[in-house]
Amino acid sequence: MTLNTISTKQLRENFDWVLTAMANNQPLTLLYRSKPLAEIKPLPQAKTLGRSFSQAQINQWLKADRLTKKQQQQINALINRLP
């Protein structure tokens, strides 16, 4: 498997790269001052169990999903019109 590298700056600013690499079972060599410092690799037993959502995230969804009375009436009417 090819070893890709990531700098400490990239690690801080683009953590998504690490997530993507781990999800693809791709180890990364961490560089500090252009020299290899450590290897980041996915745990062998890591298994996809799905995402975890925080309470704040869920609350945000509920807020974004709210409807006014008028919108509720319009959607009710729309549902009734659907074949």
Partner 1 sequence: MPSLTVFLDASVILAGMASPQGGSGFLLQAAKQKKIILIATPLIINEVNRHLTKLKLQSKQLKTLLNDQVIRLVKDPDETTITRCRRLTADPDDAHVLAGAILANANFLLSLDKKHVLTKRVKKHLLPIRIFSPKQFWQALKSF
Are 21 and 27 in contact by the 8 Å Cβ rule? The answer is yes
Question: Considering only residues 3, 37, 46, 58, which one is a binding residue for partner 1 as defined by CB under 8 A?
Answer: 58
Q: What is the nearest approach in angstroms of partner 1 to the Cβ of residue 39? A: 20
Q: Total binding residues for partner 1 by CB under 8 A?
A: 29
DSSP code at position 52: -
Q: Give the largest CA-CA distance in the chain.
A: 66
Region of residue 50 (phi > 0: left; psi between -120 and 50: alpha; otherwise: beta): left
Question: Considering only residues 7-46, where is the footprint of partner 1 by CB under 8 A?
Answer: 16, 19-20, 23-24
Task: Give the strands of the sheet with 4-7, arranged side by side.
Answer: 4-7, 28-32, 35-40
Residue nearer to partner 1 on the CB measure, 34 or 80: 80
Q: Which residues bind partner 1 (CB under 8 A)?
A: 16, 19-20, 23-24, 48-53, 55, 58, 60-62, 64-67, 71-72, 74-76, 78-79, 82-83
